[in-house]
Every structure is written in C-alpha cells, then in structure tokens.
C-alpha cells in the first residue's frame, strides 16, 4: 500500500539464509522472530533510537547474526513495513461494492499505521516492493478497474487514495507521538485560542466557533468520503 519512495536495491535474502538456525548463545532465530523483535523495539523506543545492537540484545544474540537474514537495517525496516500491510489485509473480504470496498481498503492502511505510530515514521512513506504490498496494490487497483476506469486513470486514482489514507496516517501518527500534555494543549487551543476571537477581525472563525473542536480529531474518514464520492460520480459519468 505504500505510496512513494524507491524500492531498496537489496533483494530478498536467499532462502538458504532464512532457515531457522541457532546462534552461538543457542537462540534459534528466524525472519519472523527478528521482525517481531524489531517491531517491539521501535514501538517502545522509536525508529530513531533503533540499532542492530539493541535488536541483538533483545533477541539474546550477537547483532551479526541478524545479517544472515537481512542485509541491513533498511532491509529489515522494509520487511517490517510489509508485514504490517499483510496484517492490515489479513481478513479483507470484498463485498462487491467497489466504492465501499475502496473505503475499507483505505481505512485499513490508515489504521494499520496508527496501531504502530513509531513505525509509521517510515512505513507510510516507503515502497516495500514485497509480497504483501504487491497484493495490496493489485487489490486496490483492481477495485478501480472494476469501477470502470481505464488503466491509467485507475493508477492515478489509486495513487490519490493511498496518499490520502497514508498522508493522514503519517499526520495522526505524529500527533500520537507527542507527549500527552502537548496533545491536550493542541486540542484545547481550538477553543482557547480560536473560540474567543472577535467577530470584527475574524468573522468566519467566530461564526463556526461552536464547531471548532472538530479540528482536534482526525479528518481521514471525511477526506476518504469526499474522494470516494467524487470517484462514484466520475465512474457514473463514464457509463453514460
């Protein structure tokens, strides 16, 4: 589902390097075990604090053992981002209504990132080029082809949908990474700093002052609804 960036030039690690094998300390490593440990570390400490040394300590293994499974930290991050895409689509079941399915598709991408706001720093802006993302891209574009859009238009609209979902995910994940006091201050500001502005200088804000607390929530669902309503109209026009 990822939206932009370039695929890492590191290819998937050959199968023989992915076999479960014990380290010198007797820990049996695997791709899944390493990805799980990396996820937990980043969730707890943030991507900026992540190091292979910390990962090795969490695994009870020498950090060099990780390189039998991943070429470098970026290779591991892309595998982790792809894992989250797979988890977000695990129970996806199309209903037959392409627009409703597209909305569900976008919200799954958004909610997956919000479950791991520290990982969203990189997962929302990278292209993994890996199996779960490939399947998700095929699914999303397939829904737009089902709606009757031509190939180029389906790709453009898919791009717009995913950028909308993941753009909001990156923004809202950033809010979740703020300290609780910072979040509370920002939410209160819509009333404290804006709700009391005078009508003579700020007539529009004054008129909507009772509704300003809406600004403290996420806009992802209204944004997706606007986009999908426009797609419905365009798809209908194409059938005329």
Positive or negative, the CA dihedral 193, 195, 197, 203 is positive
Range of lowest pLDDT (12-16, 75-79, 80-84, 222-226): 12-16
Q: Is the pLDDT of residue 152 over 60?
A: yes
Token pair recorded at residue 69: 């499974």
Residue 159 has pLDDT above 50, yes or no: yes
| pLDDT value of position 23 | 56
Sorted by where each starts, the structural domains of the chain and their CATH numbers stand as 19-68 (1.10.10), 95-239 (1.10.357.10)
Q: Is the pLDDT of residue 22 over 60?
A: no
Adjacent-strand bridge partners of 28 = 22
| pLDDT of 56 higher than 90 | yes
Q: CA 144, CA 57: separation in Å to the nearest integer? A: 46
Residue 154: predicted pLDDT = 98
pLDDT value at position 5? 47
Does the structure show a pLDDT above 70 at 54? yes
pTM to 2 decimals?
0.85
Considering only CA atoms, which of 132, 140, 18, 138 is closest in space to residue 84? 132
Compute the 3-state secondary structure of the chain and give helix, strand, coil in percent, each to the nearest 5. 65, 0, 30
Query: At CA 182, angle to CA 181 and CA 186, rounded to 5?
Result: 115
Dump pLDDT digits (tens) for 86-124: 999 999 999 999 999 999 999 999 999 999 999 999 999
Q: Which residue has the higher pLDDT, 24 or 65?
A: 65
Neighbours of 145 (CB within 10 A): 16
pLDDT surpassing 90 at residue 213: yes
Which region among 5-9, 17-21, 36-40, 58-62 has the lowest average model confidence (pLDDT)? 5-9
pLDDT digits (tens, 9 = 90+) for 169-205: 999 999 999 999 999 999 999 999 999 999 999 999 9
pLDDT number for residue 11: 41
pLDDT of residue 12: 46
Long-range contacts of 229-232 (CB under 8 A, 24+ apart): 231/99, 231/102, 231/144, 231/147, 231/157, 232/99
Task: Look at residue 141 and tell me whether its pLDDT is greater than 70.
Answer: yes
Looking at residue 236, its pLDDT comes to 87
| Residue 177: CB atoms within 10 Å | 14
């Amino acid at each position: 589902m990822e939206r932009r960036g370039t695929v890492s030039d590191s290819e998937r690690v050959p199968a023989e390097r992915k076999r479960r094998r014990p380290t010198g300390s007797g820990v049996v490593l695997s791709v899944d075990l390493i990805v799980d440990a990396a996820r937990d570390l980043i969730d707890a400490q943030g991507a900026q604090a992540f190091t292979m040394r910390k990962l090795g300590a969490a695994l009870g293994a020498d950090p060099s053992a990780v390189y039998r499974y991943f070429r470098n930290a970026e290779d591991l991050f892309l595998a982790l981002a792809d894992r989250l895409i797979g988890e977000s689509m695990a129970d996806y079941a199309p209903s037959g209504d392409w627009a409703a399915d597209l909305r569900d598709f976008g919200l799954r991408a958004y909610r997956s990132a919000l479950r791991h706001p520290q990982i969203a720093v990189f997962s929302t802006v990278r292209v993994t080029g890996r199996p779960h993302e490939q399947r998700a891209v095929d699914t999303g574009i397939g829904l737009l082809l089902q709606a009757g859009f031509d190939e180029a238009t389906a790709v453009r609209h898919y791009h717009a949908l995913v950028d909308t979902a993941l753009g909001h995910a990156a923004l809202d994940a950033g809010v979740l990474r703020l300290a609780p006091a910072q979040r509370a201050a920002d939410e209160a500001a819509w009333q404290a700093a804006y709700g009391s502005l005078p009508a003579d200088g700020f007539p529009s804000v004054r008129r909507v002052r009772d509704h300003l607390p809406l600004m403290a929530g996420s806009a992802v669902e209204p944004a997706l609804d606007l986009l999908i309503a426009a797609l419905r109209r365009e798809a209908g026009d194409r059938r005329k």
